[in-house]
Structure 1
């Protein structure tokens, strides 16, 4: 992104933040990642190492934005049971690495305020991925905000998303920008405030 585009995005986000009153934000945000197609837009396989690093960095941004926007509960639907069941080695390997990188580098890291809860059936994941998820859940048990990661549900949408006030589906896994989040929050507030009034 160019410096000018970045500046415009930040200005738009600041205007939306000023426009929204405190009561006009969802408390529970849902995010659907499309891990059934883990390829870049060029249709070439993703570089797993680069993808995991980018995923961890973007997850850190997403959690920070949620804190900044006073969203206390984030539900991330990662993958359905069908994808895990039929997943090729590369696809499941990429997913495993992404989950481990995000959990180890971001959620369970020191100084974070997110409590991890895993929903779904993780039995098809490798044992070390399951262990990493369980350890992160134990380490984060007393934290303030809740992050629910939905893995291995039999259909879509995942049950964990049912109670979300707003559900977003970015075009690429973890490809949401803060401006897109802000725009979605503004649209949600207009709809919700309009219904309430």
Structure 2
């Protein structure tokens, strides 16, 4: 009965979004995997990572059905890779390879994969699996783009972007004074890990945490933020639709009235 009521509620939410303004690009912080596993009674909280990785594909499907063609997902920060226990990191990286990268390469998936982050901090096998998935999906038609932020930190991204810009200018023979005189936000933005792709319209974070944790610090400056109390593996379609409803309400409220 509960499931029937939930499906009816989801249908009602979808109907309310028919004429609404939907985000073109949704970014998500997939937080709360370990806490969800504890909540569900698993002895090993790292089991939550497997459920969370698999859930990524379901959420991507909801986006595709609604015509949301750009998704960015925060999978692991630099600190997640460098500072957590070696066994947990190895488990997480295997999931990235087997549950994220490999399924995206299969025929039938509409998504082109992009990777954002310091891939040099990843194990060789994970870096290789992601590269194969990027190369294997690059020429897919349809215009659906999924960016995985892994080995990611927003401050490091900005520093790396400035460094790349300076190197490019130096190779062209520019002096530091020349660069300082003409440097712009657009010039830095073009050298971000996500350079060339649109900024997110909506950022969703699960687990009840109310902070960005270094995610898309540059790109999300004008994004709507939505914080959801459920943990990522338990993030339901109705939770996603509520986030879209809130986004539509906010964007409608700030839209200039016609003259």
Q: Which TM-score applies when normalising by structure 2?
A: 0.65
Indicate conservation of the 8 Å contact 2:34/2:49, yes or no: no
- Residues 19-38 of structure 1 deviation map (CA, whole Å, 9 limit, x = unaligned): 11355110000110237x74
Question: Bigger CA drift: 159-168 or 86-95?
Answer: 159-168
Q: How does 1:80-99 map to 2 (within 5 A)?
A: 80-99=77-96
Structure-2 separation of matches of 1:122 and 1:174: 25
Structure-2 separation of matches of 1:173 and 1:124: 24
Structure-1 separation of matches of 2:78 and 2:101: 23
Q: How does 1:33-112 map to 2 (within 5 A)?
A: 33-34=30-31, 38=34, 40-42=37-39, 44-46=43-45, 48=47, 51-52=49-50, 54-112=51-109
Q: Which residue of 2 aligns with 1:190?
A: 249
Deviating above 6 A after TM superposition, structure 1's stretches of 4 or more consecutive aligned residues are: 156-159
- SS where residue 41 of structure 1 aligns? helix
- Structure 1 residue 44: Cα displacement: 4.4
Indicate conservation of the 8 Å contact 1:33/1:173, yes or no: yes
Q: Which has the higher contact order (CA 8 A, sep 6+)?
A: 1
- Structure 1 residue 180: Cα displacement: 0.3
Structure 2 unpaired stretches of 5+: 158-191, 208-230
Q: Which residue of 2 aligns with 1:150?
A: 149
Structure-2 separation of matches of 1:157 and 1:64: 31
- Residues 48-84 of structure 1 deviation map (CA, whole Å, 9 limit, x = unaligned): 4x853x3453222111101111111010011211222
Indicate conservation of the 8 Å contact 1:25/1:189, yes or no: yes
Question: Bigger CA drift: 132-141 or 8-17?
Answer: 8-17
Structure-2 separation of matches of 1:12 and 1:156: 40
- Structure 1 residue 126: Cα displacement: 1.1
Match status 1:113 vs 2:172:
no
Q: Which TM-score applies when normalising by structure 1?
A: 0.84
The partner residue of 1:166 within 202, 223, 227 is 202
Higher Rg of the two aligned structures: 2
Indicate conservation of the 8 Å contact 2:49/2:92, yes or no: no
Structure 1 unpaired stretches of 5+: none
Task: Give the 3 Å change call, closer, same or farther, for CA 173–156 of structure 1 in structure 2.
Answer: farther
- Structure 1 residue 93: Cα displacement: 1.6
What number of residue pairs does the alignment pair up? Answer: 191
